[in-house]
Structure 1
Amino acid sequence: MAQRLLVIEDEPTLARLLSYNLVQEGYEVAHEDHGTTGYDRAVKEHFDLIVLDLMLPGMNGIDILDKLRGQGIRTPIIVLTAKNTEDDVVRGLKSGADDYMTKPFGVSELLARVSAVLRRVSGVTEEAPVTTGTTGSTIILGQLEIYPERYEVTLGGQSINLRPKEFEVLLYLARKPGVVLTRDDLMNAVWGFDYIGGQRTVDVHVSSLRKKLELDPESVHIDSIRGVGYKLVVNKQRTPVV
C-alpha cells in the first residue's frame, strides 16, 4: 500500500511540481493550498508525512506545527521556507519539524529527504501504541525518570513535555550519562546516517532541552564541550558551558 503524503503549499506551480514528482515516486499525494484547511486535513486524516510551507494564508506553518505537536500528533513534517535565514530554520525545528528545506531547492533533493525521513520513522505514526505502567526499560538518573516505551519524562516528579526528537536526544544522552557524545553521534542516532540536514539541528534541540530541564538544574543538566558535543550530567557539580 502506497504511503500517503500531504503537501500544504499555496504556490500553484510548486505544488503541482511537488505532487507530480512524489506521485511518480510511488506515493499517494493530497494537496491543500490554505493553512487552515491543511491543518484540518492533517488532524482528521492519516498521513505518513507532511510537506509544509511556512508562509501560508489562513494559518502559517509554525502555527500548524505548534498545534499538531501540541495535540501529540507525531506525523513527520518537512518544512519549506522561502527565507534562507537561520531564524526560520530554528523556529521550524523548535516547533517540531523533522527536517527543512529553503527555496529554491531541487526536486531530487526533496525526494531524497522525504525518503530519508520515512526510513527513519520506520512506520511509526501519530497513532503509535502507548503502553502504561513502568517497564524494565525505564531509565532513572537521580530525579530524572525516562519511560522510552511511553515517550514520557519526569523530573523531580513533575512531567516534562518534550517533542519527539527532543525526547530521543535526551534518551540517547541518558543512556550514556557523563559520557561526551559528539554532534555526529547524536545526529546519526536520532536522525539517521542518511540525514541531509546540518549539525545545527542538534544544537537547536539541545538548547530547547536545556530550557525544559531548568525545572531542576541541580539534579540534571546538559553540558557543552567546545568543538566536540554534549554530555548529560547527573547530580554533579556543573562544569562551565563553553
Structure 2
Amino acid sequence: MIRILLVEDDKNFSFIIQSSLEQMIGGYEVVTASNGKEGLEKLAQATFDVIISDIEMPVLDGITMVQQIREQYPRLAIVFISGRIQAKDVIQGYHSGADLYLKKPFLPEELDAHIQALIKLKQASVVTSPSENESTESVYSIGTYRFYPVQSKLCYQDEQQSLTHKENLILEMLCRRKGQTVSRDEILSSVWGTADFYSSRSLDVFLTKLRKYLSQDSQIQIKVLKGVGVCLSD
C-alpha cells in the first residue's frame, strides 16, 4: 500500500483528499499534517512514498518544507497542490524540488493518476539497469570536476557544491551520455514527469545554474541545441 503524507492547512480540503484516496481501489494510507513544521516532524517519525503539500501554510510554508526535505531525501516523490497558478509560482515550486505541481481545483481521480504515474517513474529510475552505453560508476569526471550523484555533490579541487534533487538528476543524465545530445522531452519526462511549458522553462533555469557550477573549467560546455536537445561536453 502506498503511504502518503498530506500537508494541508485547510482541514475540510484535507479530509476530502484523505478520504477520497483511502477509498481508491488498491488503497492508500494517508497521514495528515497541518503545516510544514508538522510535516517535517511526521516525516522524521515514519517512512512515506509520496509527499503531497500545499504551499501557503502557517508556521512553515510548503516551499521551505520541500527545500529542507530535498536535502535529506533527494529521491522522495513530492507533489505540490496549490491555488497559486501564475507561471512564476509553478516555476518556483519545481525549483524548490517538487516533482509535480498540480493546480487547484482538481478531481481526486486526477491526483490518483498523477501519483500512480510518479510512483512508476520513481521505481523505474531505481530498478532499471543501465544500458551498455551508460556508465555504472558512482563518480563521474567532468573536466577537472568530480560529480558524485549518490551524494548529490559536485567537487572542484577543495570546493564542494551540493546539488538539489533536480540538478542532480539532470546532471547525471547528461553525464551518462556525455558528448551526446539528450532530447529535452526525455529530460523533462524523466525529471518532471511532464513536458509542459512550465517545466520546459524551469529546465532552462536549471541548465543556467549547472553552467555556473561548472564555470571554473572553461572547457566544459552545456549546449542547448534548439529543437534537438542538450549536450554536455568537456
Q: Give the alignment's TM-score, normalised by structure 1.
A: 0.80
The aligned counterpart of 2:95 is 94
The aligned counterpart of 1:229 is 229
Report if the CA contact (8 A) 1:173-1:232 is conserved. Answer: yes
For residues 182 and 73 of structure 1, do their structure 2 counterparts lie closer, same or farther at Cα, with a shift above 3 Å needed? Answer: closer
The aligned counterpart of 2:199 is 201
Q: Which runs of 5+ in 1 are unaligned?
A: 126-134, 235-242
Report if the CA contact (8 A) 1:146-1:153 is conserved. Answer: yes
Matched, 1:211 2:212: no
Give distance in 2, aligned partners of 1:12 and 1:36: 16
Report if the CA contact (8 A) 2:83-2:103 is conserved. Answer: yes
Give distance in 1, aligned partners of 2:195 and 2:14: 22
Q: Write the deviation string for residues 29-53 of structure 1: whole angstroms up to 9, x where unpaired.
A: 1111233222321233221111000
Q: Write the deviation string for residues 41-97 of structure 1: whole angstroms up to 9, x where unpaired.
A: 123322111100001111111111122223446422100110211111111111111
For residues 21 and 197 of structure 1, do their structure 2 counterparts lie closer, same or farther at Cα, with a shift above 3 Å needed? Answer: farther
The aligned counterpart of 1:132 is none
Give distance in 1, aligned partners of 2:22 and 2:117: 17
The aligned counterpart of 1:38 is 39
Aligned residue identity for 1:11: D
Give distance in 2, aligned partners of 1:123 and 1:174: 19
Aligned residue identity for 1:38: G
Give distance in 1, aligned partners of 2:108 and 2:231: 37
CA shift, 1:121, in A, is 1.8
Aligned residue identity for 1:102: K
For residues 73 and 151 of structure 1, do their structure 2 counterparts lie closer, same or farther at Cα, with a shift above 3 Å needed? Answer: closer
The aligned counterpart of 1:185 is 186
The aligned counterpart of 2:30 is 29
How do 1:129-144 residues align onto structure 2 when only pairs under 5 Å count?
136-144=137-145
Give distance in 2, aligned partners of 1:226 and 1:31: 44
SS at 1:77's partner residue?
strand
Aligned residue identity for 1:208: F
Matched, 1:11 2:10: yes
Aligned residue identity for 1:207: V
Q: Give the alignment's TM-score, normalised by structure 2.
A: 0.82
Give distance in 2, aligned partners of 1:97 and 1:189: 13
Q: Which runs of 5+ in 2 are unaligned?
A: 127-135
Aligned-residue RMSD, C-alpha? 2.5
The aligned counterpart of 1:63 is 64
The aligned counterpart of 2:129 is none
Give distance in 2, aligned partners of 1:37 and 1:76: 18
Report if the CA contact (8 A) 2:87-2:198 is conserved. Answer: no
